[in-house]
Structure 1
Amino acid sequence: MIATEEEAREFVSQQCSGESLKRLDQLVGALKEENSQQNLVAKSSLEQIWLRHIADSAQLLRWVSEPRGIWMDLGAGAGFPGLVIAAMRPQQAVILVESRKRRIEWLQRVTHDLGLDNCRVEGRRLEQVDDLEAGVISARAFAPLDRLLRLSARFSTSSTQWVLPKGRSAEQEVQALPRRYRRMFHVEQSLTDAEAGIIVGKGNWKGSK
């Protein structure tokens, strides 16, 4: 378990280049500044920003094999995990889906300032996003699992990988799925929070819409 800011930064640094780490340092600084203007993340979490946000996002890479196609981050908000993934994997195309105006402006600005040419912001509701095939779908605090899957079903294929941080409710949300779909998903222990789980899966979700 990663417990301190020092451990969190070391964990991240072992998974990316020095250039990517510099971008993440930039992101940390920009987030702290922007958070004084709008409540992107809980103010209390800024004291553990590497643990609570950067490493918490970076750990998702542990459960994703080399994806083919786009990494799609739903309800990107402050940019976690999408911005972290884009910074750590500059060859990976990332789409950040966000509908709130001030969050969109933040994501567009920080993506530009960090030089994340592999990252694009879809500033609209998920229902309005054009169809595409996602290699990975991630979402942090976006929606309950059943609704999330219904909304994102049209972006999934048989090879789509799902990585969905869900906190304490992870196992409960998986068990609430229709029985024939439960086998698509399992829960992994978060490395940054002893009480949190991450729903991991692979496949084409074609449940009831």
Structure 2
Amino acid sequence: MLSNESEARAWLETLPEWDAAARDRMEALTVLLREENTRQNLVSVASLEQVWLRHIADSAQLLRHVPRETSSPWLDLGTGAGFPGLVVAALRPECEVVMVESRGRRAEWLGRAVMALGLPHARVEGRTLETIATRPFRVISARAFAPLPKLLVLSARFSTSTTRWLLPKGQSARQELLDLTGWSHMFHVEQSHSDANAGVIVGTLAGTKGNKP
């Protein structure tokens, strides 16, 4: 379990995706985030004091659940300040990452960050999820996007029976999964690597009960 900035940075260096280029992109991302946070409230000011733990490592831990060869295309819902979408794209720049963010100013900043970090396969969809054309994705992630039932209703059309879902849910992860009804799934909760009180819902979705997508 990671508990501070030094441990978070040391852990990142153990990732197979980590090299000098990845380090430079992550350093640049933290600078971009701090600068933009003075113009719009992307993240809490307090969390910037632990940006490597609270945002970078917290996002990067999702890669442990997805082999590199099966991570593209990746759909990230409600990317907001870039987590986990920008971190995933920065660590796996060869991967197609589609980041959905309906809030205009945040979407504009994400687009600028994609350009600044040199991520040719990352794309920002600055509109609501409902207006995006249906297509299958290999991975779907969402950090604080919506309660689990609503999230599935909105995004199940992008999933196949082999799509990997990665849903950081904080302290509510286990309860949200226990309360989920009406869906045929193979979800379970993984302990967060960056927060002792948080969990990540991981797994696959077959569809609503009696109706496979």
TM range (shorter): over 0.9
If the length of structure 2 is used for normalisation, what is the TM-score?
0.93
Q: Where do 1:89-108 residues align within 5 Å? A: 89-108=92-111
1:86 to 77, 89, 106: 89
What is the count of residue pairs matched by the alignment?
207
Q: Structure 2: where are the runs of 5+ without partners?
A: none
Q: Distance in 2 between matches of 1:176 and 1:109?
A: 39
Q: Distance in 2 between matches of 1:92 and 1:12?
A: 19
The percentage of aligned residue pairs carrying the same residue is 56
Tell me the amino acid that sits aligned with residue 143 of structure 2.
R
Match of 2:29 in 1: 27
The Cα of 1:9 is off from its aligned counterpart by 1.1
The Cα of 1:121 is off from its aligned counterpart by 0.3
Q: Distance in 2 between matches of 1:112 and 1:180?
A: 38
Match of 1:70 in 2: 73
Q: Where do 1:38-49 residues align within 5 Å? A: 38-49=40-51
Pairwise CA RMSD of aligned residues? 1.4
Q: Distance in 1 between matches of 2:126 and 2:3?
A: 34
Q: Distance in 2 between matches of 1:73 and 1:87?
A: 14
Q: Distance in 1 between matches of 2:201 and 2:137?
A: 17
Q: Structure 1: where are the runs of 5+ without partners?
A: none
Match of 1:136 in 2: 139
The Cα of 1:179 is off from its aligned counterpart by 6.4
Tell me the amino acid that sits aligned with residue 10 of structure 2.
E
The Cα of 1:59 is off from its aligned counterpart by 0.4
Tell me the amino acid that sits aligned with residue 197 of structure 2.
E
Q: Distance in 2 between matches of 1:53 and 1:166?
A: 14
If the length of structure 1 is used for normalisation, what is the TM-score?
0.95
Deviations 1:132-180 (A, max 9, x none): 1110000001000010011001100011000000001101111111266
What secondary structure is seen at the aligned counterpart in 2 of 1:203? strand
Distance 1:186 1:79, change over 3 A: same
What secondary structure is seen at the aligned counterpart in 2 of 1:134? coil
Match of 1:153 in 2: 156
Match of 1:170 in 2: 173
Is the CA contact (8 Å cut-off) linking 1:40 and 1:78 kept in structure 2? yes
Match of 1:193 in 2: 195
What secondary structure is seen at the aligned counterpart in 2 of 1:164? strand
Tell me the amino acid that sits aligned with residue 199 of structure 1.
I
Match of 1:50 in 2: 52
What secondary structure is seen at the aligned counterpart in 2 of 1:184? strand
In the TM superposition, structure 1's runs of 4+ consecutive aligned residues that sit over 2 Å from their partners are 203-208
